[in-house]
């Protein structure tokens, strides 16, 4: 079997980008979770639904980041020793699944946001914005 140096360079470059994207997605998710906690008493059922989506998104993103770290490690190690450690096909699927996991996390964030809207988060934030704008004008 031949050594796929160009492939391992590309994989080593792609894995951190995918991991960073997953981190950004989970960061947005955690911000939403903090806002949801402030309104949890209004509707326990809606809160549990939003919390379920938030939890799923966090778990999926965390697994994705760990998987991308593994891909980065294998890629760099393959480059260091000069031979394929695992089949490039496995790494291709790992990268593809990482991108799909980011998409799934974004969908879960959307569902959690919809539940948050039912709790009234968006209305409260919009109501707070004009006051914040007026505070800035006074300065």
For the segment 4-20, the average pLDDT, to the nearest whole number, is 91
Span 109-135, pLDDT tens digits:
888 777 777 766 555 554 555 554 444
Tally of domains within the chain:
1
Q: Which of 32-36, 39-43, 95-99 has the least mean pLDDT?
A: 39-43
Which residues form the domain of 30? Answer: 5-138
Instruction: Report pLDDT digits (tens) over 42-93.
Output: 666 667 777 787 788 889 988 999 999 999 999 999 999 999 999 999 999 9
Residues 29, 21: Cα–Cα separation, whole Å: 12
pTM for the model stands at 0.73
């Amino acid at each position: 079997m031949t050594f796929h140096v160009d492939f391992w360079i590309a994989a080593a470059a792609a894995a951190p980008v995918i991991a960073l994207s997953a981190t950004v997605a989970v960061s947005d998710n955690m911000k939403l979770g903090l806002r949801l906690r402030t309104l949890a008493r209004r509707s326990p059922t809606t809160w549990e639904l939003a919390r379920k989506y938030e939890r799923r998104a966090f778990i999926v993103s965390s697994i994705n980041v760990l998987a991308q770290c593994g891909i980065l490690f294998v890629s760099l190690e393959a480059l260091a020793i000069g031979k394929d450690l695992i089949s490039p096909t496995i790494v291709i699927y790992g990268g593809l699944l990482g991108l799909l996991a980011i998409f799934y996390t974004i969908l879960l964030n959307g569902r959690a946001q919809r539940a948050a809207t039912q709790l009234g988060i968006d209305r409260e934030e919009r109501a707070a914005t004009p006051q914040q704008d007026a505070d800035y004008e006074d300065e």
